Amino acid sequence: MRNNMPENEANLLFCQLLENNKKIAEKKQDLLEKYKDGQKPKIALITCSDSRMPLSLYGNIEDMMGNVFVGKDIGNTYEYSDAVVDYAVLHLNIPVVVILGHTDCGTVKAAAGNFEKETETIKERLSAIKKSFIDKENHIECVENNVHRAIQKIEEKYKDKINNKELCVVGCVCDTAGAYNNLCGLTYIVNINGIKDKETIKSHKLLENMEDGLKEKTIAK
């Protein structure tokens, strides 16, 4: 018997996601069983909660499972994901931490405006993001500077590990709005260990297996 709750898109989607999950769990049991006793992820990813950046933009379950340790918060605000970074670096010995911002980020836009009426928790994040603004009218610059600020904080905290080449911190921007080059969803590298110069980034060891053509496309000027 049908209940009285109206069928709306959210209800349908929730049921669909659980159905998907059951199918995937059954189909990928061999892969999932490998990780039933633990994980050894290789990359930590701190990103925005925005739904336009699902991990499936970067690969399938085989790429992600047991490999990518994720922290999401509005505006990928470092100050509210720092425990994720600490845990990744100190307890999981993850060698690569990625800070991934994105264009058309509502949180970054809100930080550029008046946010006095927001809740305390939202205000805390917006205040932190606002510290990185130089020109608050330039949205891409605000997004990039929010990423640079996070990298700087991690660099300060884990200077020795970075100098000993035990840790690499990478700043990226996913272009959800197609603002860099009209290709929505393409990700650009904007910073590696504090380095922002395109040519120096190109020759960084982290990218030694990346094709030159891809480097040209995905390293932001």
Residues of this chain that interact with Zn ion (CB under 5 A) are: 48, 50, 105, 107
Nearest of 187, 191, 178, 180 to residue 148 by alpha carbon: 191
Instruction: Report, in Å, the least distance between residue 105 CB and Zn ion.
Output: 3
Q: Decide if 131 contacts 149 (C-beta within 8 A).
A: yes
Instruction: Measure CA 135 to chain center.
Output: 23
Instruction: Report, in Å, the least distance between residue 115 CB and Zn ion.
Output: 14
Q: Give the tokens for residue 20.
A: 């998907």
Element (H, E) at 169: strand 168-174
Phi-psi region of 198 (alpha: psi -120 to 50; beta: other; left: phi over 0): alpha
- Closer to Zn ion at the Cβ: 124 or 198? 124
Instruction: Report, in Å, the least distance between residue 75 CB and Zn ion.
Output: 6
Instruction: Report, in Å, the least distance between residue 125 CB and Zn ion.
Output: 11
Report the C-alpha gap between 202 and 198 in whole angstroms.
6
- Closer to Zn ion at the Cβ: 109 or 157? 109
- Closer to Zn ion at the Cβ: 107 or 193? 107
Report the C-alpha gap between 194 and 178 in whole angstroms.
25
Instruction: Report, in Å, the least distance between residue 103 CB and Zn ion.
Output: 9
- Closer to Zn ion at the Cβ: 110 or 162? 110
- Closer to Zn ion at the Cβ: 107 or 191? 107
Report the C-alpha gap between 112 and 104 in whole angstroms.
12
